[in-house]
Amino acid sequence: MNHPPQPLLEASDICIAYGGHQVVHDVSLAVAPGEVISLIGPSGAGKSSFLRSINWLEPPCSGTLTFDGSTFRGLRDGGVSKRQLQGLRRSIGMVFQQFNLFPHLSALENVVLAQVHALGRSKAEARERALQELHHVGLGEVTDKLPSKCSGGQQQRIAIARALALDPQVMLFDEPTSALDPEYAMDVLVTMRRLADEGMTMLVVTHEMHFAAEVADRVVFMAEGRVVEEGPAAALIRDPQHERTQKFLAAVKGR
Amino acid sequence: MTVMEHLQALAGGIGTTVTLTLAAFGVGAVAGFPLALARRSSQWWLRLPALAVIEVLRAIPPLVWLFIVFYVIGADFPLMTPFQAAVAGLGLIAAAYLAEIYRAGLDAVPDGQWEAASATGIGTLTTYRKVVLPQAALIVVPPAATYLIALLKDSAVASVVGTTDITFLAFQEARVTLEGFEVFVIAAALYLALSAPVALVARTADRLISRRLGL
């Protein structure tokens, strides 16, 4: 997808700091509807922090985010209200490295909870939708199980279903397969690829270069809190231009 | 005197000991909750007073604290019976201990749970009600049950302000019969018999909870 006129989401000059130590410097990114973007780079590059600033889990100290006609300003530029935040988060799905499922609730209840309490759906409607989403990620059979009784791959797909049930306009994935055995990672990657094929707008922090090359439209390479290089996925991974990107990709491919 | 006779003399205190313990625990379980929330608050004007109250209540020996409640506070409320004073005094101490237990339980719920909840756009109150408290409540059961046993034993100090519990009656019986050793061994056995089922519940709960939360 090449530069359509109206981005769905636009982050401008995002800065993130922890206790005076800046980890993300002036990162900007425009995301078109339906676009799949992979964020890659060495650990500590600020990829996850940047991703988490998009739904304000990591409030940026400065910079702005424009999404769905609203502008969200970093802490130093005025910040955002609680109500604004809830609206933003309801429209953006998030999948975490450690799944973060609710351990006291069954798979189905995990997917039902936010539908009822964030979107105000009826219990029956939410249940119906949850079953649908669980089937969608290939988990029709685990609906009544607790997360601890499911494999890692199943847990992560439950987490994806939990996010999808809220009809997000964008899905954020924070190293969704890093905590998984390769076999289970594949199940999750297949699910993500299908989502991408269905037209979901996705931002994916990942170390899976195959996924980045094959599924993403665009790859953004970050190092030391800055965007070093970005471009069409396959081309950037095959033929990186920047020395820092070349070094990183050589190391990753050599593994 | 036979064992049966001693036992009969002490039996009248069992109800008082149990009621006193449960009432004080109840006071603590309720009062400890806002105290725990205040202790975890990001606002210093809530956090620091809560911290002070908790530390003071835990630092003073229950015996001394009970005398203070009974003589000082009790003087302003002449209608307060020894039993009520003991419930109030031990209940406040229980609130301090249970607040710390609650706090540990709340802290034990991983940050990822808060993140996952807020990422779906559900509010803070709902997150507490539906995500954090159900998990914290399970985590809290074993230490709270352990504390209940400790409180059962501490309740013996109420005898010094005249609450007619097991220990109070044991003192009386020992003075009258001059068989202090036998009497107090029986009193000890009674406390043991009361605490055993609680310990059993605590252990079972601990196992079930670990399984349930996949810890």
**pLDDT digits 0-9 by tens, A227-247:** 999 999 999 999 999 999 999
| Dist CA A121 CA A249 (whole Å) | 45
What pLDDT is attached to residue B80?
77
CB burial class (10 A; 0-12, 13-18, 19+) of residue A120?
exposed
Q: How many residues does chain A have?
A: 255
Say yes or no for a CB contact (<8 Å) between A100 and B130. no
Do A105 and B114 contact (CB within 8 A), yes or no? Answer: no
Please tell me if residue B138 touches chain A, with a CB cutoff of 8 Å. yes
Q: What is the mean pLDDT of residues A144-150?
A: 93
- Count how many pairs of residues, chain A against chain B, have C-beta atoms within 8 Å: 72
What pLDDT is attached to residue B138?
87
| Dist CA A43 CA B210 (whole Å) | 33
CATH at B39: 1.10.3720.10
Strand A21-31 vs strand A9-18: parallel, antiparallel, or unpaired?
antiparallel
Q: Give the residue among A213, A219, A223, A252 at the shortest CA–CA distance from A24.
A: A223
Q: Measured in Å, how far apart are chain A's first and last C-alpha atoms?
A: 31
Domain count, chain B: 1
Q: Which of B113, B134, B135 sits opposite A100 (nearest CB)?
A: B113
Please tell me if residue B214 touches chain A, with a CB cutoff of 8 Å. yes
Check whether B214 has a pLDDT greater than 80. no
Check whether B6 has a pLDDT greater than 90. no
Residue A142 φ/ψ, nearest 5 degrees: -105, 10
| Dist CA B155 CA B126 (whole Å) | 37
B6: helix, coil or strand? helix
Range(s) of the domain holding residue B9: 3-213
Say yes or no for a CB contact (<8 Å) between A103 and B112. no
| A3-17, A36-50, A151-165, B109-123, range with the lowest pLDDT | A3-17
* Residue in A48, A54, A84, A100 to test binding to B, most B beta-carbons within 10 Å: A100
Say yes or no for a CB contact (<8 Å) between B126 and A86. no
Please tell me if residue B123 touches chain A, with a CB cutoff of 8 Å. yes
Look at the block and give the residue holding tokens 């018999």.
B193
| Dist CA A66 CA A209 (whole Å) | 29
Say which amino acid occupies B65: W
Structure tokens at B193: 């018999």
Band of residue A133 on the pLDDT scale cut at 50, 70, 90: very high
| Dist CA A162 CA B116 (whole Å) | 10
Do A164 and A133 contact (CB within 8 A), yes or no? Answer: yes
CB burial class (10 A; 0-12, 13-18, 19+) of residue A62?
middle
Q: Which of B119, B212, B213 sits opposite A57 (nearest CB)?
A: B119
A84's CB contacts (< 8 A; 6+ apart) are A70, A72
Please give the C-alpha separations between residue A24 and each of A9, A28, A40, A236, in angstroms, as whole numbers.
Answer: 18, 10, 14, 22
| Dist CA B140 CA B100 (whole Å) | 10
Cα angle A219, A223, A225 (rounded to 5 degrees) comes to: 105
Give percent of chain A above pLDDT 90.
82
Q: What is the mean pLDDT of residues A16-36?
A: 93
Say yes or no for a CB contact (<8 Å) between B134 and A117. no
Please tell me if residue B113 touches chain A, with a CB cutoff of 8 Å. yes
Say yes or no for a CB contact (<8 Å) between A117 and B131. no
Q: Does domain A9-254 have CATH number 3.40.50.300?
A: yes
Say yes or no for a CB contact (<8 Å) between A103 and B123. no
Nearest CA in chain B to A104: B213
Check whether A1 has a pLDDT greater than 80. no
Cα angle B170, B174, B175 (rounded to 5 degrees) comes to: 120
Q: Which of B112, B121, B134 sits opposite A118 (nearest CB)?
A: B121
